[in-house]
Structure 1
Amino acid sequence: MPQMAPISWLILFFIFSVTLMIFNILNYFCFIYSPMKISQSLDIKTSKLNWKW
């Protein structure tokens, strides 16, 4: 492997970089968010914690 020409390392770096960018773009744009219902957002209940030391 150390005998590889620098241009081969550069091509390898570009291939991995492009692959990583395509993977990130596909993950970012292909994720489907489920819409939140209005009734769920209004019914948020908070509970108080009773600390017993």
Structure 2
Amino acid sequence: MPQMMPMEWTMLYFFFLATFLMFNILNYYMTTTTSEESPTKKSINQPHINWKW
């Protein structure tokens, strides 16, 4: 029936949109993030200068 054609295009659009969104959501949540350990505090070595005036 020709009058059903717009409904078929709408359903096709929703199907591709749902597939696209599902693909993007799964891609976003499937990434594994590696949490680095907190870096150790490194002290800055400054030589102690004894000024003699």
TM-score (norm 2): 0.58
Larger Rg: 2
> What corresponds to 2:26 in structure 1?
26
Structure 2 unaligned runs (5+)?
A: 43-53
Counterpart of 1:35?
A: 35
CA deviation digits over 1:4-51, x for unaligned, max 9? 8111110110001100110111011111001112227x67xxxxxxxx
User: Hey, what's the Cα distance between the residues in 2 that align with 1:29 and 1:38?
Assistant: 24
Alpha carbon RMSD of aligned pairs, Å?
2.3
**TM-score, normalised with respect to structure 1:** 0.58
Q: Distance in 1 between matches of 2:16 and 2:36?
A: 37
Gaps of at least 5 residues in structure 1 are 44-53
Q: Percent identity?
A: 33
Q: How many residues end up aligned between the 2 structures?
A: 39
